[in-house]
């Protein structure tokens, strides 16, 4: 049985497709590419159909990842969310939107998997785990975004590996 992971940001052209690419690479490196499917969406339809942001693509390629070729932005639906085993929002606002869409969904902030991220026990304080939107920045902000995604990626892989073992 396939384990399905969805990364989620606002427009699905920067953070969530970057996280999708990184997680696919990490699952492949862990030997789980055949057992785990990763995709990405946005909570908004403002970028519907657009490719990955070229600045995000450059940062990914510059770090040895696939560039997200073929990616087309799309908005998350309740049906898609219900079909995922794990949804990884980039911000507390995204997490709230997903929880409203499907209160039963397994929604976990991506940075909760980063061992160096701030400790957050109160769900109302999840914004401390936000991955800032690099859209308004330059190359440095896209590098910082990738750093935060990479810092959480191994934790996501370990979590999913444990979930697969429990099936």
The CA distance from 82 to 13, in Å, is: 22
15 is catalytic: yes
125 is catalytic: no
Residue found by looking up tokens 């997200």 in the block:
68
pLDDT tens-digit profile of 82-122?
A: 999 999 999 999 999 999 999 999 999 999 999 999 999 88
Residue found by looking up tokens 């309740």 in the block:
78
| CB-based contacts of 132, cutoff 8 Å, min separation 6 | 141, 144, 145
The CA distance from 157 to 3, in Å, is: 11
0.95 surpassed by pTM: yes
79 is catalytic: no
Domains of the chain, each with CATH number or no CATH: 3-161 (3.40.50.2300)
Given a cut of 90, whether residue 124 has pLDDT beyond it is: no
Residue found by looking up tokens 């859209």 in the block:
135
Share of the chain above pLDDT 90, in %: 95
Q: Are 146 and 18 in contact (CB under 8 A)?
A: yes
The CA distance from 5 to 7, in Å, is: 7
pLDDT tens-digit profile of 6-32?
A: 999 999 999 999 999 999 999 999 999
| CB-based contacts of 156, cutoff 8 Å, min separation 6 | 5, 23, 26, 86, 88, 110, 113
Average pLDDT of the chain is 97
Q: How confident is the model at residue 123 (pLDDT cuts 50, 70, 90)?
A: confident
Catalytic residue among 15, 26, 74, 84: 15
How does DSSP classify residue 49? T
Biggest alpha carbon distance in the chain?
43
pLDDT tens-digit profile of 40-71?
A: 999 999 999 999 999 999 999 999 999 999 99
Given a cut of 90, whether residue 155 has pLDDT beyond it is: yes
Catalytic residue among 96, 132, 133, 161: 133
Instruction: Over range 116-137, report the average pLDDT.
Output: 93
The CA distance from 5 to 29, in Å, is: 16
Comparing CA positions, the residue from 148, 117, 130 lying closest to residue 18 is: 148
């Amino acid at each position: 049985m396939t384990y399905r992971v969805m990364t989620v940001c606002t427009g699905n052209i920067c953070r969530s497709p970057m996280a999708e690419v990184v997680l696919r690479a990490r699952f492949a490196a862990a030997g789980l590419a055949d057992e785990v499917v990763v995709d990405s969406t946005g909570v908004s339809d403002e970028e519907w159909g657009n490719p990955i942001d070229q600045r995000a693509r450059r940062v990914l390629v510059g770090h040895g990842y696939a560039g997200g070729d073929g990616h087309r932005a799309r908005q998350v639906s309740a049906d898609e969310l219900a079909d995922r085993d794990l949804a990884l929002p980039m911000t507390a606002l995204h997490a709230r939107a997903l929880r409203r869409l499907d209160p039963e969904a397994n929604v976990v902030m991506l940075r909760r998997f980063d061992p160096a991220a701030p400790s957050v026990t109160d769900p109302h304080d999840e914004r401390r785990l936000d991955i800032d939107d690099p859209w308004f920045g330059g190359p440095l902000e896209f590098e910082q975004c990738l750093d935060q995604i990479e810092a959480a990626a191994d934790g996501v892989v370990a979590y999913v590996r444990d979930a697969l073992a429990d099936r």
